[in-house]
Amino acid sequence: MSIEIRNVSKRFGDFHALRDVSLDIESGELIALLGPSGCGKTTLLRIIAGLESADAGSILFSGEDTTDVHVRERQVGFVFQHYALFRHMTVFENVAFGLRVKPRGVRPSEAQIKKKVMDLLGLVQLDWLADRFPSQLSGGQRQRIALARALAVEPKVLLLDEPFGALDAKVRKELRRWLRRLHDELHVTSIFVTHDQEEALEVADRVVLMNAGKVEQIGSPQQVWDHPASPFVYGFLGDVNMFHGRAHQGEVLLDGLQIESPEHAGADNAKAFAYVRPHDLDVERYSAGQHLDAQGRPRGIVVQLSRAIVVGPIARLELIPAGATQPAGGSEDHIIEAQIPAQQFREMGFREGETLVVTP
């Protein structure tokens, strides 16, 4: 089922939770709604579900306006962060619940329920847990059961609100891969809320970046990563350094350095900024002979290594541009972050306090 979100706005008192949000979701897509806490992701999901009404705008399911369609008739399945499994029911009964409460006439027979529930438990690879109670399951298992329960009524749309948010990092990673495979099998139109950029980029067909109640960008994971539409998107998707310079022929000039930044360079000589991710910076030990051009200007940004932290295979370097002083109040705006392989860091033998040169 396709979903069209048209100019949806929502206020809570004076607070604008959603501002004119529009989005078209194709049938069978897996969409990630990504953004910081409080940006309106859950509110949008609740409006799509019919749990909340919009102040303005409309939601269309397969071209039909859903405004007057009750949540029970929307054929929507939910999975929330805090699994709402019934504690006094076994796994089997939890998954069977949606089938048992169907009105007489459309309610499946006991044999059909048994087959359907066991098929679903097989799908989420937990059929061996059918007789357990929720308290006897791990967090990851509970979320898979919650998903099986949501799927039991054959929803046309699946809404997942931070479904793996309460789980530890390793289980989260496993479950998101598993969810992607499951989606590839079932093709149910799905909307997945997360504030974890890695999760969104890994799982979704398209990512919708939200900030302060507005959509900042919609695109495939690669599009939003390679061509962030705004400084917010750039910063939200990963660590980034921002360099101020002047536009010159579609590039940004910064102290004689040219940085490619087609999205952000305006008319020649206008102020421009370039973003460079920490792993795209080259770092070398500074030597005047090598790093000064004929006019005596440095080729690259001369910095002092203020701190180096090795995390597994990566060394994160905090670099202070030469001449910059530590501002009062501890602002870290002027710090450049570079990431290089830990192996290279050890081979180079960089020491804290040493003068280095970085080039984008």
Is the Cβ of residue 17 or residue 157 nearer to ligand ATP in the bound state?
A: 17
Residues forming contacts to ligand ATP in the complex (CB under 6 A) are 12, 15, 17, 35, 37-43, 195
Is the Cβ of residue 36 or residue 341 nearer to ligand ATP in the bound state?
A: 36
Report the C-alpha gap between 97 and 357 in whole angstroms: 64
Residue 192 · residue 163 · CB < 8 Å: yes
Residue 58 · residue 6 · CB < 8 Å: yes
**Nearest CA-CA partner of 114 in 103, 125, 130, 102:** 130
Smallest gap, in angstroms, from Cβ of residue 176 to ligand ATP? 17
Is the Cβ of residue 66 or residue 81 nearer to ligand ATP in the bound state?
A: 81
Smallest gap, in angstroms, from Cβ of residue 254 to ligand ATP? 35
Residue 59 · residue 47 · CB < 8 Å: yes
CB-count burial class (<10 Å; 0-12, 13-18, 19+) for 217: buried
Smallest gap, in angstroms, from Cβ of residue 37 to ligand ATP? 3
Smallest gap, in angstroms, from Cβ of residue 196 to ligand ATP? 10
Is the Cβ of residue 1 or residue 208 nearer to ligand ATP in the bound state?
A: 208
Is the Cβ of residue 42 or residue 261 nearer to ligand ATP in the bound state?
A: 42
Smallest gap, in angstroms, from Cβ of residue 64 to ligand ATP? 25
CB-count burial class (<10 Å; 0-12, 13-18, 19+) for 282: exposed
